[in-house]
Amino acid sequence: MIVVLGIIEVAASDRVRFLEEKGTQVANTRAEIGCIEYVFSADADDLSWVRLVERWETMSDLEAHIAALGKAAAPAEPPVASRMVSIDVLDAQPVRPPWA
C-alpha cells in the first residue's frame, strides 16, 4: 500500500473555501482505480494548515492519479492560493495495532 501524507498551507481565512473547492476532486479521486482513501482535512491546531491523506493499492495507481490531475481542466474561478509545506510518500504494510 502507498501512503501519501501532506501538509498544505493556505491563509487561515481561506481554509474553508479551500476545502470546499476540493470536493469534486475528492469525489473523482475516490472513484479512481486503486484509491483506498483520499481526504483533505483541517488541522486541529494550525488554522492555516490542511492535511492531505491518501492511500493507494499500488504506486502505479498513484502515478495514474497524478497523470489525471495534470490533464484536468482548469477551475472556473481562480483557486485558493496554497503552498505544499511537506509531503511524504511511503510504501507501507499494515501491522497489528499495539492495542489489539
pLDDT tens column, 50-77: 999 999 999 999 999 999 988 888 777 8
Sketch out the chain's domains with CATH numbers.
2-91 (3.30.70.100)
Question: Measured between alpha carbons, how far is 100 from 11 in angstroms, rounded to an integer?
Answer: 40
pLDDT of res. 74: 78
**Which residues in the chain come in under a pLDDT of 70?**
none
Query: Residues, the chain, total?
Result: 100
pLDDT at residue 75, rounded to an integer: 77
Q: CA quadruple 27, 33, 3, 71: dihedral positive or negative?
A: negative
